[in-house]
Amino acid sequence: MLEANTPAPDFKLNSTPDQKLALSDLQGQKVILAFYPADWSPVCGDQMVLYNETSKLFSKHNAQVIGISVDSKWSHLAFSQDRNLHFPLLADFEPKGEVARQYGVYDEETGEAKRALFVIDEQGVIQWSYLSPAGINPGANGILDALEEMDKKTA
Amino acid sequence: MSNQLKPAVDGHDHSQGPRSAPLELVEYGDYQCSYCGEAYPEVKAARQALGDKLRFVFRNFPLTEAHPHAQQAALAAEAAARQGKFWEMHDALYEHQDQLDSAGLQQHAQQLELDMDQFQSDLKSSAVTEKVEADFESGVRSGVNGTPAFFVNGELYQGNWQDGELTRFLQSQLQ
């Protein structure tokens, strides 16, 4: 798993059926990259629903949250509509799990991404990362603590 | 990551039971969340079983995107608090989770004999909104990841709360 002070590998993945989003598109703001195993599984639902609510707290730190799993763009579309999500879900679908592998968080046994968080700074460098047990929703407090630390350093 | 209650319970919180009680139970809840509805009688049972050994505090954690009435219901409870009837409204909301639209909230307020003009203006006031937002943010900072979430003496309770488990856990903490 990639650690702090590592440049975040760039990627370009579908965020909707007809749009792609690259990490480099988001330079100049902080990015919270939330890898999760799958759409629709009960715990992940909670985690993405929580980030939907906390994105207003993230935006106070000029940070954008992005969910990423190996699900297809069509599954993401349906999941996003069902949960009324207001942030992008990226489809790490083809080649499957390629981005999760680059970040060192692909689970070979389940064929899904592990539940891992990365906070990336305005220059595209990872400043904080955290691996959560697959069944446990890591919440948002670790992310907010990391964002606060980063703001302190630049202040 | 720490899962400690932040900030600690203070004068801004709504509480039941003595301040000096050896056990302090804090719930982060959403009035439209069905699990919170199931937790409501569990908390009542715990309060009854533990009597003055337990202080109970409720903080708002409305998941507004998932539950369209959650925010208004939280505001209604806080607006009722301004007239000294937080717990009465809290109970009414959990006892009638199918009546959380604005007509339902009005009706609860009338039944509690609130000053309706005051209630309406408090519902829209920034002080009431800020209280709900501050509760939500404190929950996030404390590691709340869904509702209901319980803290016992400041520590996130990871155990089961159904079927009397919460009461049994609290009782075990007294020994």
Tens of pLDDT, residues B120-168: 999 999 999 999 999 999 999 999 988 999 999 999 998 999 999 999 9
Q: Which residues of chain B are within 8 Å of residue A86 when distances are taken between CB atoms?
A: 65
Give chain B's mean pLDDT.
Answer: 96
- Measured CA distances, B23 to A68, B20, B174 (Å): 41, 9, 8
Q: Is residue A16 part of a domain?
A: no
Contacts of B32 (CB under 8 A, 6+ apart): B62, B67, B68, B69, B70, B73, B97, B100
Q: Is residue A3 part of a domain?
A: no
A63-69/A89-91 β-pairing: parallel
Q: Could you tell me if the ipTM is greater than 0.85?
A: no
Predicted confidence at residue A136, as pLDDT, reads 84
- Mean pLDDT within B26-30: 97
Coil, helix or strand for A90? strand
Place of tokens 């630390």: A149
Q: Is residue A14 part of a domain?
A: no
Calpha distance B148→B61 (Å, rounded): 8
Calpha distance A44→A152 (Å, rounded): 31
Residue B1 reports pLDDT greater than 60 = no
Give the distance from residue A5's alpha carbon to the nearest chain B alpha carbon, in angstroms: 20
Predicted confidence at residue B175, as pLDDT, reads 78
Please tell me which of the candidates A85, A86, A144 has its beta carbon nearest to residue B140.
A144
Angle subtended by helix axes B102-111 and B70-81, to nearest 10: 20
> Of A110, A92, A108, A74, nearest to A35 (Cα)?
A92
Domain boundaries, chain B: 21-174
Distance of CA A127 to the CA centre of its chain: 14
> Of A22, A102, A3, A105, nearest to A66 (Cα)?
A22
Q: Is residue A13 part of a domain?
A: no
Please tell me which of the candidates B2, B137, B146 has its beta carbon nearest to residue A46.
B146
Query: Catalytic positions of A, please?
Result: 44
CB within 8 Å: B63 and A49: yes
Give the distance from residue A46's alpha carbon to the nearest chain B alpha carbon, in angstroms: 7
Domain that holds residue A142: 29-154
Place of tokens 């159904």: B162
How would you write the pLDDT of chain A (155 residues) with one tens digit per residue? 999 999 999 999 999 999 999 999 999 999 999 999 999 876 655 899 999 999 999 999 999 999 999 999 999 999 999 999 999 999 999 999 999 999 999 999 999 999 999 999 999 999 999 999 878 889 999 999 999 999 998 77
Predicted confidence at residue A43, as pLDDT, reads 61
Calpha distance B91→B52 (Å, rounded): 20
Picking from B140, B142, B144 by the largest number of A CB atoms within 10 A of its own CB, the best residue to mutate is B140
CATH of the domain at A97: 3.40.30.10
Torsion on CA atoms B8, B14, B17, B19, rounded to nearest 10: 40
Is B146 an 8 Å CB contact of chain A?
A: yes
- Residue B2 burial (CB count, 10 A): 13
Calpha distance B42→B62 (Å, rounded): 20
Is B3 an 8 Å CB contact of chain A?
A: yes
Torsion on CA atoms A49, A54, A58, A64, rounded to nearest 10: 20
> Of B94, B38, B41, nearest to B70 (Cα)?
B94
Predicted confidence at residue A45, as pLDDT, reads 57
In chain A, positions 99-128, which contact chain B (CB-CB < 8 Å)?
A: none
Q: Which residues of chain A are within 8 Å of residue B33 when distances are taken between CB atoms?
A: none
Please tell me which of the candidates B64, B141, B146 has its beta carbon nearest to residue A137.
B146
Superfamily of domain B21-174: Glutaredoxin (3.40.30.10)
Domains: count for chain A: 1
The answer to whether the CB of B137 falls within 8 A of the CB of A140 is: no
- Measured CA distances, A132 to A67, A118, A142 (Å): 15, 11, 11
Tens of pLDDT, residues B58-93: 999 999 988 999 999 999 999 999 999 999 999 999
- Measured CA distances, B170 to A145, B43, B156 (Å): 30, 11, 13
Predicted confidence at residue A147, as pLDDT, reads 97
A115-120/A30-35 β-pairing: antiparallel
Calpha distance A10→A24 (Å, rounded): 6
Predicted confidence at residue B45, as pLDDT, reads 98
- Measured CA distances, B45 to A127, B42, B56 (Å): 46, 5, 12
